[in-house]
Amino acid sequence: MNLKEIIDSNFRGNIYVVQDDKILCENVTGFADLPNEVPNSLETKFASASAGKVFVAVGILQMIEQEKIKFDDTLEMLLDIPLNDIDKDVTVRQLLNHTSGVPDYFDESVMDEYEELWVDYPNYKIRHNSDLLPLFINKPMMYPKGERFQYNNSGYVLLAMIIEKVSGMFFDQYLKKNVFDVCGMKSTGYYELDRLLAKCADNYIYCNDTNDYRTNIFSVDVKDTGAGGAFITVKDIVCFWTDLLEGNLISKALVSEMLSKQSGDGADPEEGYYGYGVWIIDNPKGKDFAYFQGCDPGASFISEYNPNNGIISVLVSNYGDNVWRIMRKIRERLY
């Protein structure tokens, strides 16, 4: 079976599809460093944007399983920051499944481009979760807690701050010790754009006015937060799925809850519902599909698990290419 024939000819990035121990597709294209024509490789570390929310969700679920916190614990109980007009009784569960209503610093229903955030607030100031607080802490609730589902970046920043408060570690250090190291994800981490490690890909944005590319260094947080932004390799993501599903990060019972519908109405059947840190696509003919995804200027990512046949797909581009269209083709061909 040749999956490469369904990949867009102009796609730049990595695609890795496995079933158990069998590689179904391994496709590497494009440049990690465009001006110097340094090609991407299977070892290239890619920015994954909002996909990092899944790691934060696992960290929180670990703490719940260890009885350090509870699903129904509130912001007031867990954080000692001024909440202002944010409802102090918002719960961990509501943050996890995007029903909290807390003000979103990047409300995609209002703002079109992530770059708009940095017009008045320099992106180089963002190196910790707390650095994002000025962008939302003084705003009112978007709706009463628990009223409905609305994807929310601020909610996962607050979850990462809870990890930090409970563990006494920066959230990325906690995730390295308790998630990445456990899974053998040796190349995954949260790196600063002005201190990138070897083999990290630059991310490129096409400029219509000049017909060339610029990097996204002024378009995203200089170091990402609980809202997302881990650098990953495609093989590391397969390791993550494998250890998650085997119960090596949290119990299999909690994995099942994580990968189940917790919120959303499924109005968009392709987007689906939300679990904890993952999206869920309804599958009337079998077990539901689970995926996590991310999109930033110059970055696009999706990884999906099909429990009916054990297929794990990982697609990432450092040019913001359409990974979702290719994922649809993979579903049509393999599901």
- For the chain, list the domains and their CATH numbers: 3-334 (3.40.710.10)
Which of 113-127, 175-189, 231-245, 267-281 is least confident? 113-127
Q: What average pLDDT does range 291-317 have in this prediction?
A: 98
Q: Give the separation between CA 292 and CA 279, rounded to whole angstroms.
A: 6
* pLDDT in the model for residue 112: 78
* pLDDT in the model for residue 275: 98
Paired strand residues for 316: 14, 301
pLDDT at position 51 over 70: yes
* pLDDT in the model for residue 309: 97
150 falls in which pLDDT band (50, 70, 90)?
Answer: very high
Which of 119-123, 236-240, 251-255 is least confident? 119-123
pLDDT at position 306 over 80: yes
pLDDT at position 116 over 90: no
86 falls in which pLDDT band (50, 70, 90)?
Answer: very high
DSSP 179: I
* pLDDT in the model for residue 1: 65
* pLDDT in the model for residue 109: 74
Q: Which amino acid is at 21?
A: D
- What's the sign of the alpha-carbon dihedral 76, 81, 82, 85? negative
Please answer whether residues 86 and 126 qualify as being in contact, where contact means their C-beta atoms are separated by less than 8 angstroms. Answer: no
* pLDDT in the model for residue 225: 97
Q: What average pLDDT does range 93-118 have in this prediction?
A: 90
pLDDT at position 110 over 80: no
pLDDT, greater one: 120 or 330: 330
pLDDT at position 108 over 80: no
- Quick one: 200 exposed, middle or buried, by C-beta within 10 A (0-12, 13-18, 19+)? buried
Q: What average pLDDT does range 105-125 have in this prediction?
A: 85
* pLDDT in the model for residue 107: 83
Q: Give the separation between CA 286 and CA 264, rounded to whole angstroms.
A: 20
Residues contacting residue 147 through CB under 8 Å, at least 6 positions apart: 99, 101
Average pLDDT, the chain: 96
Structure tokens, 111: 């703002």
Question: To the nearest whole percent, how much of the chain has pLDDT over 90?
Answer: 94
